């Protein structure tokens, strides 16, 4: 999901706690020493740098984009974007990066390449309009003109490069296999920092950095303190001067992130607020900078002056459930994203609201598929508004979050209904699954399809202007039916695929101490692949012949949980309530 904003998590907290208890899981965990994940998880094999004879090779993913997309696609010909510089754009290798990334297009309000977001990248839209006719309306003619459209493979190469932050150097993980080329081993990518809004227009929250070990996955929580009470211009404050209104937000994070969510404990509203010195937060230390690891006072802005930020201990946690002192109360979701870059611009008159000071919880979930250590970075901008007619609300439907349970080597489809309030003005929708979610879609009560998505890592962000109106007194006319198809270990040819099936061994590695880290194997992953077996001690039932010793009973039904080896099924969206529509006027 590219963006989320304020909505209550009380129901989610209760549901998650019940699920964790029922399934024998744990949502807690101790502090991570030094801020790094304690258990290496080999979820991917790094690329082999030894090139095969005759194999195509590139110095970086950007080099592959330059040669395969721009040069072979004809974009660098003199009459196009070569020496002629059609449309004021030259794409020769020496200048293409500087002319594309973060540079405003001459023909639209978009950047030529928007870091982390192909849907706001004019270059990608122009090329996609030719490769996928009718799918991406865009100003002017699809590109390239007078030549064949670039292949789906090269369009995906370009998308992955943009999605990962359009790095000038390095290898974006996944591009090696996509183009079957020789590339250097990938390393964790640090996305370009998000520029902060001008002081009169907004402010930026920055997550204290944390270390992510090689070949590992980790989800945890920690707290920070912020105070912008003396910085927000008066016209954006509420009558009490304690909350400000915003009409847009933007998140930018390293592409290793699976998601980041920010939560505001309701205890901040109590007299004295949340006690940041409560032992439940552990020791507060500087993260990053010249004072990395030094003790700090979260309310003292002069601490961590060497470039770092003060943060509580990073603790393993699923969604910050059970995190922090009990006196902090429940939490409110105030921002976040499931992609490297996410921007939400609210319609005129629609606003979100956030207190000017308090404790916030950072829930960061990331996985490092490379053999090199990484450091996670996140920044979130809030842009003020003084047009406060309609408070924004969020669709956050977790009621079927762990419903997917397809048996090994099968495909299943699940649907769930979400009924909107009367008077809803819906302007944004998205879905969220993990890697076994192959297709999600949403229909209205009359069967009209309004959403279609085929990417779990970069799901479609449907937006409507004007918004979709739901004013009927009949709840059946206010239904969003969201559906998802999940594949549990089906290969490209339809045969059983032990590499993509849910496996007990992988669950244990990816999620060593939290909810969803176990399952009962019921099918073979080696020997008689696909045959039935009964538990992890039943390898002999999988032997290719009696006594062969080559069997393995490791395949499970899809299992709900936090890691990317587990699955989820969620619906997200943004709306406001029109009082006239709610009253039937």
In the prediction, which pLDDT does 138 show? 82
Q: Per-residue pLDDT for 585 more than 70? A: no
Q: How far is CA 563 from the centre of its chain?
A: 13
Same-domain check for residues 379 and 467? no
CB 459 within 8 A of CB 407: no
Same-domain check for residues 437 and 524? no
Q: Per-residue pLDDT for 3 more than 60? A: no
Q: What is the C-alpha to C-alpha distance for residues 573 and 394, in angstroms, rounded to an integer?
A: 6
Lowest mean pLDDT among 174-188, 426-440, 492-506: 174-188
In a domain, 377, yes or no: yes
In the prediction, which pLDDT does 89 show? 86
- pLDDT tens digits, one per residue of 214-252: 999 899 999 999 999 999 999 999 999 999 999 999 999
Q: What is the mean pLDDT of the chain?
A: 88
In a domain, 560, yes or no: no
Domain boundary among 179, 204, 221: 179
- pLDDT tens digits, one per residue of 29-60: 333 323 333 333 333 334 445 688 888 999 99
In a domain, 328, yes or no: yes
CA distances from 534 to 488, 490, 497, 541, 556 (A): 18, 21, 19, 8, 10
Instruction: Single out the residue of 332, 172, 322 nearest to residue 268, CA to CA.
Output: 332
In the prediction, which pLDDT does 358 show? 94
Same-domain check for residues 163 and 208? no
Rounded mean pLDDT of 402-423? Answer: 97
Max mean pLDDT range (127-131, 148-152, 482-486): 482-486
In the prediction, which pLDDT does 209 show? 96
Same-domain check for residues 436 and 472? yes
In the prediction, which pLDDT does 505 show? 96
Where in the sequence is the domain holding 86, given as residue range(s)? Answer: 61-179
Same-domain check for residues 551 and 528? yes
Q: Is the peptide bond before 466 cis (omega within 30 degrees of 0)?
A: yes
Q: Per-residue pLDDT for 24 more than 80? A: no
In the prediction, which pLDDT does 303 show? 93
Tokens standing for 368? Answer: 């490092």
Q: How far is CA 289 from the centre of its chain?
A: 27
In a domain, 170, yes or no: yes
Q: Per-residue pLDDT for 471 more than 70? A: yes
17 or 563: which leads in pLDDT: 563
In the prediction, which pLDDT does 83 show? 64
In the prediction, which pLDDT does 73 show? 78
In a domain, 499, yes or no: no
CA atoms within 13 A on the CB side of 177: 6
In a domain, 473, yes or no: yes
Q: Per-residue pLDDT for 26 more than 50? A: no
In a domain, 515, yes or no: yes
Same-domain check for residues 208 and 339? yes
In a domain, 324, yes or no: yes
Domain boundary among 391, 420, 445: 391
Same-domain check for residues 401 and 452? yes
Same-domain check for residues 231 and 324? yes
Structurally, how many domains does the chain consist of? 4
Rg over CA atoms, the chain: 25
Taking residue 34's Cβ as centre, other Cβ atoms within 10 Å add up to: 12
Phi, psi of 509 (to 5 degrees): -75, -40
Same-domain check for residues 151 and 104? yes
Instruction: Single out the residue of 165, 161, 192 nearest to residue 175, CA to CA.
Output: 161
Same-domain check for residues 328 and 475? no
- pLDDT tens digits, one per residue of 193-221: 999 999 999 999 999 999 999 999 899 99
In the prediction, which pLDDT does 252 show? 97
Q: What is the C-alpha to C-alpha distance for residues 526 and 544, in angstroms, rounded to an integer?
A: 8
Q: Per-residue pLDDT for 11 more than 50? A: no
Domain boundary among 351, 369, 391: 391
Helix (H) or strand (E) holding 581: helix 579-582
In the prediction, which pLDDT does 84 show? 66
In the prediction, which pLDDT does 23 show? 29
Same-domain check for residues 161 and 213? no
- pLDDT tens digits, one per residue of 277-320: 999 999 999 999 999 999 999 999 899 988 999 999 999 988 89
Same-domain check for residues 201 and 291? yes
CA distances from 257 to 43, 285, 341, 510 (A): 14, 23, 11, 15
Lowest mean pLDDT among 9-18, 178-187, 319-328: 9-18
In the prediction, which pLDDT does 562 show? 81
Secondary structure (DSSP) of 238-293: -TTSSEEEEEEEEEEE-TTEEEEEEEEEGGGGSTT---TT-GGG---EEESSTTTT
């Amino acid at each position: 999901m590219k963006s989320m904003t304020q909505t209550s998590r009380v129901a989610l907290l209760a549901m998650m706690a019940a699920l964790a208890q029922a399934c024998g899981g744990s949502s807690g965990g101790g502090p991570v020493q030094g801020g790094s994940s304690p258990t290496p998880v080999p979820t991917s094999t790094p690329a082999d740098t030894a090139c095969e004879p005759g194999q195509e090779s590139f110095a970086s993913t950007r080099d592959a984009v330059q040669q395969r997309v721009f040069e072979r696609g004809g974009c660098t010909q003199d009459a196009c974007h070569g020496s002629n510089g059609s449309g004021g754009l030259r794409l020769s290798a020496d200048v293409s990066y500087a002319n594309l990334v973060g540079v405003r297009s001459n023909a639209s309000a978009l950047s030529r390449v928007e870091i982390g977001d192909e849907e706001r990248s004019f270059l990608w839209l122009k090329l996609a309009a030719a490769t996928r006719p009718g799918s991406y309306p865009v100003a002017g003619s699809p590109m390239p003109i007078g030549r064949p459209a670039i292949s789906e493979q090269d369009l995906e190469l370009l998308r992955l490069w943009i999605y990962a932050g359009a790095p000038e150097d390095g290898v974006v993980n996944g591009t090696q296999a996509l183009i079957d080329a020789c590339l250097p081993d990938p390393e964790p990518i640090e996305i370009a920092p998000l520029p902060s809004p001008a002081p009169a227009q907004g402010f930026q929250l920055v997550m204290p950095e944390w270390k992510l070990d090689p070949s590992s996955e980790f989800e945890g929580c920690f707290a920070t303190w912020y105070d912008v009470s003396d910085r927000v211009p008066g016209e954006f404050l509420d009558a009490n001067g304690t909350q400000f209104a915003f009409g847009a937000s933007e998140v930018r994070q390293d592409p290793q992130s699976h998601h980041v969510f920010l939560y505001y404990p309701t205890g901040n509203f109590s007299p004295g607020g949340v006690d940041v010195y409560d032992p439940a937060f552990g020791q507060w230390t500087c993260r990053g900078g010249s004072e990395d690891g030094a003790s700090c006072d979260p309310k003292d802005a002069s601490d961590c002056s060497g470039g770092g930020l003060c943060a509580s201990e990073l603790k393993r946690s699923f969604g910050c459930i059970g995190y922090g002192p009990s006196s902090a109360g429940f939490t409110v979701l105030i921002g976040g994203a499931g992609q490297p870059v996410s921007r939400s611009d609210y319609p005129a008159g629609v606003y979100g609201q956030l207190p000017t000071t308090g404790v916030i919880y950072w829930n960061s979930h990331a996985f490092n598929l490379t053999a090199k250590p990484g450091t996670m970075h996140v920044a979130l901008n809030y842009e003020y508004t003084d047009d406060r007619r309609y408070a924004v609300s969020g669709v956050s439907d977790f009621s079927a979050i762990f419903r997917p349970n397809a048996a090994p080597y099968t495909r299943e489809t699940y649907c769930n209904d979400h009924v909107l309030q009367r008077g809803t003005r819906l302007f944004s929708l998205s879905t969220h699954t993990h890697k076994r979610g192959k297709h999600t879609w949403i229909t209205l009560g009359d069967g009209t399809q309004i959403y279609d998505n085929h990417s779990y890592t970069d799901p479609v962000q449907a937006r409507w202007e004007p918004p979709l109106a739901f004013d009927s007194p009949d709840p059946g006319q206010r239904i969003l039916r969201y559906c998802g198809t999940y594949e549990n270990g089906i290969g490209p040819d339809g045969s059983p695929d032990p590499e993509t099936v849910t496996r007990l061994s992988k669950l244990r590695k990816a999620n060593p101490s939290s909810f969803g880290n176990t399952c009962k194997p019921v099918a073979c992953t080696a020997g008689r692949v696909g045959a039935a077996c009964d538990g992890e001690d039943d390898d002999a039932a999988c032997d290719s012949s009696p006594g062969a010793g080559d069997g393995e009973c490791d395949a499970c039904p899809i299992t709900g949980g936090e890691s990317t080896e587990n699955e989820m099924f969620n619906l997200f969206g943004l709306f406001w309530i029109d009082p006239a529509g709610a009253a039937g006027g």
